[in-house]
């Protein structure tokens, strides 16, 4: 059975196999918004992401967008996708992730967090006890501090991936 390692980024959310997650006992998807499902340069949700989220809902997954962005900026996307929302999440702090789990009525071990940043999404998931899945950023357009951290993310990912290849 395929598994997802946080240090092996998936091309985008639509490449994540929902059957694999379901068979692993996952029932909830906590999904970052910016550059995970909504490219920062267009601010439009790609049809492939819309279709994937619809398929996840049809399969029975409970879904919550969890964003560090302000509510007014992400509310319309959550409504368009038919998802719950936790905004101003302050990831990597775990509190908002636990709040999202409570909103969905699921346990930590039943959830995955899908995001594009190691130092917010992946670290937050690990601190909250949730399985992380890293996706490639949907665009190279980033906030200044995120762009700065990307080079450190790439170095960390490569170091961890090389260590796992040696094993």
pLDDT at 86: 96
Query: Which residues make Cβ contacts (< 8 Å) with residue 110, sequence separation at least 6?
Result: 25, 26, 27, 28
82 sits in the region (left: phi over 0; alpha: psi -120 to 50; else beta) called: left
Structure tokens at 106: 């699921």
User: What is the structure's pLDDT at 145?
Assistant: 65
Distance in angstroms (rounded) separating the CA atoms of residues 12 and 50:
12
Residue-level pLDDT at 133: 97
**Can you tell me the distance from the alpha carbon of 24 to that of 4, in angstroms, rounded to the nearest whole number?**
11
Output the pLDDT for position 5.
Answer: 84
Residue in the block written with tokens 């490449």: 15
* Per-residue tokens: 115: 């995001």
Rounded to the nearest 10 degrees, the angle between the axes of helix 71-81 and helix 47-59 is 60
pLDDT along the chain (167 residues), means of 10: 79 95 97 89 89 97 94 86 94 97 98 94 96 88 68 78 78
Cβ 27 vs Cβ 111: under 8 Å: yes
Give just the sign of the alpha carbon dihedral 138, 83, 110, 124: positive
Query: According to the model, what pLDDT value does residue 143 have?
Result: 65
Please state the pTM of the whole predicted model.
0.89
- Residue 4 is inside which H or E element, if any? none
CATH class of 13-166: alpha beta
Query: Residue ranges of the domains in the chain?
Result: 13-166
* pLDDT value, residue 141: 59
CB 110 within 8 A of CB 97: no
């Amino acid at each position: 059975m395929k598994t997802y390692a946080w240090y092996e980024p998936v091309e985008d959310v639509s490449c994540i196999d929902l059957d694999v997650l379901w068979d692993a006992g996952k029932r909830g998807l906590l999904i970052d918004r910016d550059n995970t499902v909504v490219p920062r340069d267009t601010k439009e949700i790609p049809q492939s992401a819309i279709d994937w989220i619809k398929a996840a809902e049809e399969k029975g997954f409970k879904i919550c967008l969890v964003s560090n962005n302000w509510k007014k900026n992400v509310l319309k996307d959550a409504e368009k996708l038919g998802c719950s929302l936790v905004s101003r999440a302050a990831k990597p702090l775990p509190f908002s992730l636990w709040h999202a789990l409570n909103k969905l009525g699921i346990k930590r071990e039943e959830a995955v967090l899908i995001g594009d940043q190691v130092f917010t999404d992946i670290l937050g998931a690990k601190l909250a006890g949730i399985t992380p899945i890293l996706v490639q950023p949907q665009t190279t357009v980033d906030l200044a501090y995120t762009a700065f951290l990307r080079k450190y993310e790439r170095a960390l990912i490569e170091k961890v991936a090389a260590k796992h290849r040696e094993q």
